[in-house]
Amino acid sequence: MRILVTGASGFIGSFIVSEALERGHEVWAGIRPTSDLRYLMDARIHYLELNLSSPDQLHMQFSAVKEQMGSNWDYVIHAAGATKARRPQDFYRTNDEGTRNLVNALFEEEMMPLRFVFLSSLSIFGAIHEEDYSPIRDTDTPQPNTHYGKSKWKAEQWLQEQMDVPWIILRPTGVYGPRERDYFLMAKSIKQHVDFAVGYRRQEITFVYVRDVVQAVFLACERPEEDVVHHTFFLSDGESYSSRAFSDLLQQEMGTRNVVHIKAPLWFLRAVCAVNGTLCSWMGKLTTLNMDKYHILAQRNWNCDIEPARRLLGFEPQWGLEAGVKETVAWYKEEGWL
């Protein structure tokens, strides 16, 4: 099969490319001129610079590729997206408008694939069910409380209206693994003997290892159409964890002793994120400590229902948190990150 992976140089995208090559597919890696290609060095990869913010350029790029290939891609995996941005509008330009531009270009160039898999996020639901910690389900109404979540939800809403697009939407919870940098910051802090957490109320967190996300992507491509097309699926490892579970496993795998566990009140985190986010916005700098980050860290319930993914996708998580953290830390050490 011919596969286009957008965001191919990113954390999840690079793993999708690797798996596609392992399966013997012809892989086209959608990248930007500034993309870091360190994880895309396989000679079998076809590189394709895509400007998702420019409909005109997308049309020209797709037209040239269609002439070169002589046919369409069988699968398009849309993994490109902004998880951090200097300004709120940048999330919407990339995650929402970029998705629309991509789909419209596929339509107008008559290159619509057999499957269009969109990587969304559990973040579109925001802080719900925090009274009883019950799982978030497809029947719940999204209430995104971050610009990232709102931009992904806008893209989903538009895509779900396109019934002539063979879309499948995947909504992973927190994705971790080798090459990922946000959870790595926690490992780096623990190496310095400090573990920082916020909020005194009980927190239920969920995770999914990157290789399980990739498994779900290819199941979405290969399962019978009636089972998956025009469906949305949550992805996690099927378990729920306390707020200390991830940091405790990191500490165990790294062999770090005498870690100081600091828990700050939410009002303190809110003040820090508000001030830092405003200052960095004025200075045009990218920061992870902003109000989006506050809402993510303040959320108490990240449980989600993966039963539909199990039943219709055939998705069965292969990586529990302990095994995933073990491989991740081993990779950090091998690559000299730790």
- For residue 155, the domain's CATH number is 3.40.50.720
Position 121 scores a pLDDT of 98
Q: Identify whether 324 is part of a domain.
A: no
Give the residue numbers spanning the domain of 62. Answer: 2-177+206-238+302-318
Contact 282, 113 (CB under 8 A): no
How many folded domains does the chain comprise?
1
* R_g over Cα of the chain: 20
Q: Identify whether 135 is part of a domain.
A: yes
Q: Identify whether 16 is part of a domain.
A: yes
Q: Identify whether 27 is part of a domain.
A: yes
Residues contacting residue 44 through CB under 8 Å, at least 6 positions apart: 21, 26, 27
Positions in the chain short of pLDDT 70: none
Position 286 scores a pLDDT of 76
Q: Identify whether 323 is part of a domain.
A: no
Position 26 scores a pLDDT of 96
d(CA 289, CA 86): 11
Q: Identify whether 283 is part of a domain.
A: no
Position 314 scores a pLDDT of 97
Span 47-91, pLDDT tens digits:
999 999 999 999 999 999 988 888 889 999 999 999 888 888 999
Residues contacting residue 61 through CB under 8 Å, at least 6 positions apart: 48, 49, 50, 51
Q: Identify whether 252 is part of a domain.
A: no
Position 86 scores a pLDDT of 82
Contact 89, 98 (CB under 8 A): no
Q: Identify whether 271 is part of a domain.
A: no
Residues contacting residue 62 through CB under 8 Å, at least 6 positions apart: 105, 106, 109, 111
